[in-house]
Amino acid sequence: MTRYNTSHGTRVLEIALLLFFLLAVAFPLVGMFSRLADPQVREVFGTPAFATACVNSLVVAALTTVISVLAALLMSWVLCRTAIHGKGVFAVLLTVPMLVPSLAHGMSLVYLLGSNGILTNLLHGSWSIYGYPGIVMGSFLYSFPPAFLMLYDVMRYEDATPYQAADVLGIPKGSQFAHITLPFLRKPLVSAVFATFALVITDYGVPLMVGGKVTTLPVLMYQNAVGLLDFDAGAAIGFVLLVPAVIDFLVDVLARDNASARYVSRGFDNKRRPVRDALGYVAAVLVTLALLLPIATFCMVSFVTKYPLDLTPTLANVGRAFTMGAGSYWVNSLFIALVVSILGTIVAYLVAYITARVGGVSARLLHLASVTTLAVPGIVLGLSFSLAFKDSPIYGTFAILILVNLVHFIASPYLMAYNSLSKVNKNLEAVGQTMGVGRVRIVLDVLVPATADTIAEMFSFFFVNCMVTISAVSFLSTTLDMPLALLVTDLDAQRLVECSAFVAVLILFTNVVEKAVVAFVKRYRHAQQTAI
């Protein structure tokens, strides 16, 4: 990349951003893991509870990864290689579980398949979902959408030319899938496997709700740090949880760097085939039902009189939930999500501009710092912030919640902006310098309008994730600034299951509205551009 004359302001911005990542990422993590220097802290690795939690986490993560990735591959193939109707609707519905906290997935399984669950009573079942079955099912609900998006976004841009040549040669469809599709998906599949594994093994929301006697590493860390206030043990377990996330990060970076550019020379013309399309419909409906039925269950429970004894519809739970503080916590979440979305989008965009358009040593360091946050699980980041800033003025305030969420979620929006800015004409700055136009004017008048859709998606990513996150904020919130998602488990612990379900519905509703607003703004902007 050609590095044009960098203004004093750009230098100051680079230094400021580097200091931000140093203080907000490196400082907390180094401080937390420095506790491992104490031999007594490392003794937690030799305890039976730690060994059992390790085995449980590995088993659950492995089983869920296999199920989620296979289901994601199946649904990606159905939506990209069949002629079924409603593909856009299915693609949206399959990602709805991303709009609720992982706690809500575990909670919904209890309502649906627990000892007094709706399906349990309807089918007169005697099963138990607590333990491995419940954790795997809940983790599937939580991890399927990201895996699906990773594979679906690749498959819909695959070139049809090799398949047309294979048809001419008479190669069977099964062989085409094995020798064309799977090699094409090799890197995305590897990334999806490691990403799903890391996502499941570092989540504590689902195991906390349906784990029963099966304790996973995140739950053990949560019990030690929050329940017993043993932060040393929490730091030790957090170090272990960082390992799979770091491996996932390295695999993702290698896959991205080594992936060759692929261009679609010819798209797929999926002709109607009754048997294939019928099977595709069945698969799409079954997977969609499996994902949405638990969500529909907690939506229903939130509006019944007394689950499971009295299923008479009522709106009384809405008032009860707001009496229990849902309104103020909802405002807290909205405030945190909006501030993080605005500040996070600005910071991520500025970092992406430096790395994609300016270049230099500082840019490479900023890129590394930005993508490295992908490797830090939220629960680890939250504990590190708690230890690093416990005596600072921001501890126990909205400021630390905003900061931890910004750091937690900045990597993906940064990569969105980086990819978009990298595609814009590289000579803009050179032309601007020749004509006496500064970088600020180029950014505001050219780059921002050219990447407006990406900016909208960055804002939406920050907002939705701030509304559903529980891991990073669970160590840092107080009764005054607690986000709404944490109220789900609080109300459930008080046996106020209807109110707890309504809180999950409120989070879902908020995220759906935000998604709809962003989609409307993008569509309106495109209509305005077309009119011009």
Q: How far is 348 from 402, CA to CA, in rounded Å?
A: 14
Report the pLDDT value the prediction gives residue 373, as an integer from 0 to 100: 86
Count CB-CB contacts under 10 A for residue 125.
13
Q: Answer yes or no: are the C-beta atoms of 218 and 98 closer than 8 Å.
A: no
CATH fold of 48-301, please? MetI-like fold (1.10.3720)
> Would residue 268 be called left, alpha or beta, if left means φ above 0 and alpha means ψ between -120 and 50 degrees?
beta
Whole-number average pLDDT of the chain: 88
pLDDT tens-place string over residues 384-430: 999 999 989 999 999 999 999 999 999 999 989 998 898 887 777 77
User: Tokens 């679609």 appear where?
Assistant: 264
Domain boundaries, the chain: 1-37+316-532, 48-301
Q: In this structure, which CATH number among 1.10.490.10, 3.60.110.10, 3.30.930.10, 1.10.3720.10 belongs to the domain 1-37+316-532?
A: 1.10.3720.10
20 vs 17, 369, 407, CA distance in Å? 5, 10, 10
The pLDDT, as a whole number, for residue 519 is 92
Q: What is the dihedral of CA 33, 39, 45, 50, to 10 degrees?
A: -90
As to burial, measured by CB atoms within 10 angstroms (0-12 exposed, 13-18 middle, 19+ buried), residue 494 is exposed
159-178 per-residue burial string, b: 16 or more CB within 10 A, e: under 16: bbebbeebeeeeeeeeebee
* Mean pLDDT of the region 213-225: 91
Q: Count of CB atoms within 10 A of residue 119's CB?
A: 14
List C-alpha distances in Å: 186 to 73, 163, 370: 12, 17, 26
Lowest mean pLDDT among 101-110, 328-337, 355-364, 506-515: 355-364
Query: Where residue 267 falls among pLDDT bands split at 50, 70, 90?
Result: low
Question: Would 1-37+316-532 and 48-301 be classified into the same CATH topology?
Answer: yes
Maximum mean pLDDT: which of 267-271, 322-326, 439-443: 322-326
User: Is it the case that residue 256 has pLDDT exceeding 80?
Assistant: no
| Cα–Cα distance for residue pair 290/227, rounded to 1 Å | 34
What is the model's pLDDT at position 405? 96
Task: Please determine, for residue 42, whether its predicted confidence score (pLDDT) is greater than 90.
Answer: no
Q: State the Cα–Cα distance between residues 297 and 256, nearest whole angstrom.
A: 39
What does DSSP say about strands 310-313 and 304-306: parallel, antiparallel, or unpaired? antiparallel
Q: Which two tokens stand for residue 139?
A: 């983790």
For residues 228 and 308, give the distance between their C-alpha atoms in angstroms, rounded to a whole number.
Answer: 33
Q: Residue 306 forms beta bridges with which residues?
A: 310
* pLDDT value at 261 more than 50: no
State residue 312 phi and psi, 5-degree precision.
Answer: -65, 130
DSSP for 27-64 reads HHHHHHHGGGGSHHHHGGGGSHHHHHHHHHHHHHHHHH
